[in-house]
Amino acid sequence: MRRLGRWLLMAIVAALGWARHREGRGADADAGDDGRIVPAGDPEPGAEIAVLLLLVAATLCAVGFIVVYAIDAIGNQTQLLGIAIGACFTFLAAALILVGKRLIVTEENEEEYPPAGHPEEQQELVQIVEESGSRFTRKRLLMTTGGAATAAVGAALVTPVLSLGPWLDTSSLANTPWRRGLRLIGSDGLPMFADQVEEGTFYTAFPEHANHDEIGAPVIVVRLPPSALRLPAERAGWAPGGVLAYSKICTHAGCAIALYRTPLFPPTSSKPAMVCPCHYSTFDPASGGTVIFGPAGRPLPQLPLYVGGDGVLRAAGNFSGPVGPSWRDVREHPT
């Protein structure tokens, strides 16, 4: 009990080291109230149980944060993460407040500050810290629960660090839901017919029966005159009727390509281009998604297409390259 009380109060007042405390303890500390500075307090088992429950709740919320963070399939993930970590700190704060209000013996004394450097007065302060925890009767259980809560909160705070780019295994980014034969499904949830794709219009599509939140799922669909295409030779059949599809994830910082620049007067205007609104990386759809402006380090991955017998656009395979920011190439191909 004394050790837990000492630990909690020393954390609050930023008090003294453990070694000095152990050296200064005398045999009379365990022999009753002889030599006490702070009167012994009456046990409060109800308050101790409440602290235990609050610490358990904080632990569960911290673990819940980690679980929600790890499972991408959970809906409303951002909101649930905020609720979990907020509730965790709320329960933890309530437990500490309850300890300070109900389980730490306090008294008010007025006296002059002693001169600095007096070891006797310092030892008395250590003794006061120890004796202030006399109300604790479940030392081991509280220490175990407090340790579990501290570990869980620490793990919850460290978990988001795993998402930092260069330290994360990025091999999963090469896996996308696109496979040959999958139909392109528009934002309206309906199959995308090739003859409905118009020039000068920007479309977003997804693979059928796939999770739209996957990084490799969304694609941009545009149409250009076949005569304007300058695709690499190996992609000659990837754009049926001039319809092209590219990953919607910018290769600079992973933002969504959300702008499509179309010339209002072709003789003097710039050619059509796909633009990321975050840092204005600009990609040329006619030449295979090459970068024509901005900080992006590589082209947008292109998705090969063909038109099925029903007139619906279908994937002819996977992307021409890995989806996502360019920093992943630094890990896979260091120089």
Answer whether 44's CB lies under 8 Å from 102's CB. yes
Of the pLDDT bands very low, low, confident and very high (cuts 50, 70, 90), residue 46 is: confident
User: Do residue 187 and residue 45 come from a single domain?
Assistant: no
Q: What are phi and psi of 204, to 5 degrees?
A: -120, 135
Question: Above pLDDT 70, what percent of the chain?
Answer: 69
Q: Which of 126, 145, 163 is at the close of a domain? A: 163
Q: Which of 121, 143, 163 is at the close of a domain? A: 163
User: For residue 146, how far is the Cα from the chain centroid?
Assistant: 25
User: Do residue 211 and residue 327 come from a single domain?
Assistant: yes
User: Do residue 177 and residue 325 come from a single domain?
Assistant: yes
Of the listed ranges 19-33, 111-125, 145-159, the one predicted with least confidence: 19-33
- In CATH, what number is assigned to the domain containing residue 200? 2.102.10.10
Q: Which of 132, 163, 194 is at the close of a domain? A: 163
Handedness of CA 289, 294, 296, 297 (dihedral sign): positive
User: Do residue 151 and residue 179 come from a single domain?
Assistant: no
User: Do residue 158 and residue 224 come from a single domain?
Assistant: no
Say what the pTM is: 0.53
Instruction: Say how many Å lie between the first and final Cα of the chain, rounded.
Output: 58
User: Do residue 73 and residue 111 come from a single domain?
Assistant: yes
Domain assignment of residue 217, given as a range: 171-332
* Dihedral angle, C-alpha 175, 179, 183, 185, nearest 10 °: 0
Inform me whether the pLDDT recorded for 204 exceeds 70.
yes
pLDDT at 29: 43
Of the pLDDT bands very low, low, confident and very high (cuts 50, 70, 90), residue 310 is: very high
User: Do residue 144 and residue 248 come from a single domain?
Assistant: no
User: Do residue 303 and residue 280 come from a single domain?
Assistant: yes
User: Do residue 190 and residue 326 come from a single domain?
Assistant: yes
pLDDT tens digits, one per residue of 146-203:
888 888 888 888 877 766 655 555 555 567 899 999 999 998 899 999 999 999 899 9
Of the pLDDT bands very low, low, confident and very high (cuts 50, 70, 90), residue 331 is: very low
> What total of structural domains would you count in the chain?
2
Better-scored residue on pLDDT, 105 or 20: 105
Cα–Cα dist 143/269, whole Å:
71
User: Do residue 101 and residue 220 come from a single domain?
Assistant: no
User: Do residue 10 and residue 146 come from a single domain?
Assistant: yes
User: Do residue 156 and residue 183 come from a single domain?
Assistant: no
Task: Give the contacts of 258 (CB within 8 A, at least 6 positions apart).
Answer: 275, 276, 277
